[in-house]
Amino acid sequence: MRLSVIVPAYREGEEAALQIHRLSRHPRVFEVIAAWFDCPPSFTRILRRIPKVKMVLTPKKGRGLQMNLGAAAAQGDLLLFLHADSWVEPGGIEELVETMRQMDWVGGAFRLKFNHASWRYRLKSWSAHLRSQALGMSYGDQGYFVRRTVFDRLGGFPNLPLFEDVGFFDRLKKQGPWILLKSKVVTSVRRFERQGYWKATLKNVIWILLFKMGVPADWLAKRY
C-alpha cells in the first residue's frame, strides 16, 4: 500500500520544509506532495533537493483547493492530509498503513496533541478525543487519511473558504466505517498563542456551530 502525504502550505518557511523533509524519509511514506502558495525561497529551496517530495504551486491560497491539487498529483492508493504545522508521532505512520491494509476502513483521523505542556492544551486534546469518539467529529489538524478510491468518489474536498475539513469528514463518514487511530498528530499552538487561547477556542466553537446550522461558509469566512 503506497502512502502519499499531502501538505498544504501558505507562507510557511524553513521549519515547515524541514518537517516535510523528515516525513519524506520515513520508509512507509511513498511520497510527500507540498501544495504551496506564497512561501519564501527558504521553503522551496530545501524541498527542491528532496527526491520523494513533489512541489505543486497552487494559483491561490485555500486549504481545500491546495489539498485537492496536491491529491491530483499524488500516485499513492492511500492519502494522508497533514497541516504544515503538524507532524505524526513515532509509530503513527506504521499504525496508519497497517490498519488500512488489514481492515476495510474508508479512512479516519489521528488523535490530537499540542506541542505545549500547559493544562489548557492537554484539556483541549482530551476534548478533541472525546468529540471524535462520542460525536464523530474530527478536524483537519488531526490529520485525515482516506483511500484514494473513496477520495475520488467524493470528489475531493468541498470548494469552501472555511471548514472544508468539516465538510469533507461529514461526507467521508457516510461512505463506510472510519477509524480514530491510537497514535497522535502533534499540532503547533502558534495560532492559539497569536490570537489568544480563549478567544481562538471560543471563536472556533461558535463558527463551527454556525456552519453546522447551515450558515454559508463564505459569510463566515469574511468574519472569521
pLDDT digits (tens, 9 = 90+) for 98-129: 999 988 999 999 999 999 989 999 999 999 99
- For residue 195, the model assigns a pLDDT of 87
Confidence at residue 207, expressed as pLDDT on a 0 to 100 scale: 86
Q: What is the pLDDT of residues 44-56, one digit of tens each?
A: 999 999 999 999 9
Strand partners, 114: 187
Mean pLDDT estimate for the chain: 94
Assess whether pLDDT exceeds 80 at residue 224. no
**The whole model's pTM is what?**
0.95
Q: How confident is the model at residue 152 (pLDDT cuts 50, 70, 90)?
A: very high
Q: Select 3-189's CATH number: 3.90.1300.10, 1.10.3720.10, 3.40.50.300, 3.90.550.10.
A: 3.90.550.10
Beta strands across the sheet bearing 53-57:
53-57, 29-37, 3-10, 78-81, 144-147, 107-114, 178-187, 86-88
CA distances from 177 to 81, 85, 103, 172, 203 (A): 19, 28, 10, 9, 30
What is the reported pLDDT for 114?
95
CA Rg value for the chain: 17
The grid cell for 215 is 450558515
Q: Where are the domains of the chain?
A: 3-189
Q: Is the pLDDT of residue 2 over 90?
A: yes
144-147 and 107-114 strand pairing:
antiparallel
Q: Does 212 have pLDDT greater than 90?
A: no
pLDDT at 217: 86
Using DSSP's 3-state secondary structure scheme, residue 59 falls into coil
Question: For 27-83, how does the pLDDT look when each residue is reduced to its tens digit (9 = 90+)?
Answer: 999 999 999 999 999 999 999 999 999 999 999 999 999 999 999 999 999 999 999
Q: How far apart are CA 80 and CA 142, in angstroms?
A: 10
* Residues 114 and 71 sit within 8 Å (Cβ to Cβ): no
Residues in the chain: 224
pLDDT interval class at 151 (50, 70, 90) = very high
